Amino acid sequence: MIYDLHTHSNASDGFLSPADLVARAQAKGVNALALTDHDPLAGFSQAAAAAQQADISLIPGIEFSTQWLGRSIHIVGLGFNPAAASITQGIKRQATSRLERAQTIGEKLAKAGVPDAYAGAQALAGDAVLGRPHFAQYLVACGAVKDVASAFKRYLGAGKMGDVKQLWPGVEEAVEWITAAQGVAVLAHPDKYDMTRSKLCQLLGQFREAGGQALEVISGKQVNTLTDKLARLAGQFSLAASCGSDFHVPNQPWQELGAFGKLPDFCQPVWQLLPGHLSS
């Protein structure tokens, strides 16, 4: 059985449609898949229909952005009830936060002499989650800059006027949205936060205390020593172990669907906590 429990479609910042993602997962031998887009659940029903055809077990999934001690921390939710009120509220909270930030970026660009950037970026984003890359595209399209790199350098990059901080909820709050919907909260890609071991331990303690149940021990292709280290850390905090590619775009070998190492035998695999998804 190959479980890929962290993937993205074009319902957030991925490249493939949910149906194409499922088809690619099937081609790569994935048996159980979680589509974990950044906030929206919009891709789930399309993915579910395709998964049924492909004989892939589809696990409800989501990836929430949170903040903890000034850092952006990602929490993946798995196996929750997609219709639960807490999930709907969480998604709404994140959407409002993204919208307010995008409007603020638009206002700042207007003051800097680029009118209508919000509407322009929104049109370029289409159904995708509106973010700085769309503002960059708009700045190119309206002739304010010559390319995307210049857009970041002049307007959107760190310390520039369009670098508006996002106000995300705390880790505890996102864990609560997931657990209240009978889901399992997973701390995503712990190696990507550039944290010392003691900081990570502090985070894991609080995450566990808040009701978090698993650590993403494998995030795409990674060296065995890292897998082993994270697996031990999961054990130390009585957390189950999850694994996923964090797939966004085809043909990036380090995050291909299903293409990563095995969880060490001493881990408790997170799928044991996902009733109904134990086997296909």
Half-sphere exposure in the Cβ direction for 214 (13 Å, CA): 31
> Under the criterion CB under 5 A, does residue 191 sit at the interface with Mn ion?
no
**Cα 156 to Cα 188: distance, rounded to the nearest angstrom:** 26
Q: Please give the residues from 218 up to 277 whose contact with Mn ion meets the rule CB under 5 A.
A: 246
Nearer to Mn ion, 173 or 191 (CB): 191
CB 217 within 8 A of CB 246: no
Contact mark string toward Mn ion, 94..133, x via CB under 5 A:
----------------------------------------
Nearer to Mn ion, 4 or 63 (CB): 63
Nearer to Mn ion, 10 or 122 (CB): 10
Q: Please give the residues from 49 up to 88 whose contact with Mn ion meets the rule CB under 5 A.
A: 63, 74
Sign of CA dihedral 132, 133, 139, 141: negative
Shortest distance, position 136 Cβ to Mn ion, whole Å = 16
Residue 161, burial from CB neighbour count under 10 angstroms (0-12, 13-18, 19+) = middle
Shortest distance, position 200 Cβ to Mn ion, whole Å = 16
Nearer to Mn ion, 61 or 106 (CB): 61
CB 248 within 8 A of CB 15: yes
Shortest distance, position 192 Cβ to Mn ion, whole Å = 7
> Under the criterion CB under 5 A, does residue 39 sit at the interface with Mn ion?
no
Shortest distance, position 217 Cβ to Mn ion, whole Å = 15
Shortest distance, position 180 Cβ to Mn ion, whole Å = 22
At 1, is the secondary structure helix, strand, or coil? coil
Nearer to Mn ion, 87 or 145 (CB): 87
**Cα 181 to Cα 203: distance, rounded to the nearest angstrom:** 22
Q: Which phi-psi region, left, alpha or beta, contains residue 246 (left: φ > 0; alpha: ψ -120 to 50)?
A: left
Q: How far is CA 12 from CA 26, 62, 74, 242, in A?
A: 21, 10, 14, 21
Residue with the closest Cβ to Mn ion?
A: 74
Shortest distance, position 74 Cβ to Mn ion, whole Å = 4
Answer for which of 13, 107, 172, 176 binds Mn ion (CB under 5 A) is 13
Nearer to Mn ion, 74 or 108 (CB): 74
First CA to last CA across the chain, in angstroms? 9
CB 264 within 8 A of CB 228: yes
Give the footprint of Mn ion on this chain (CB under 5 A).
13, 63, 74, 246
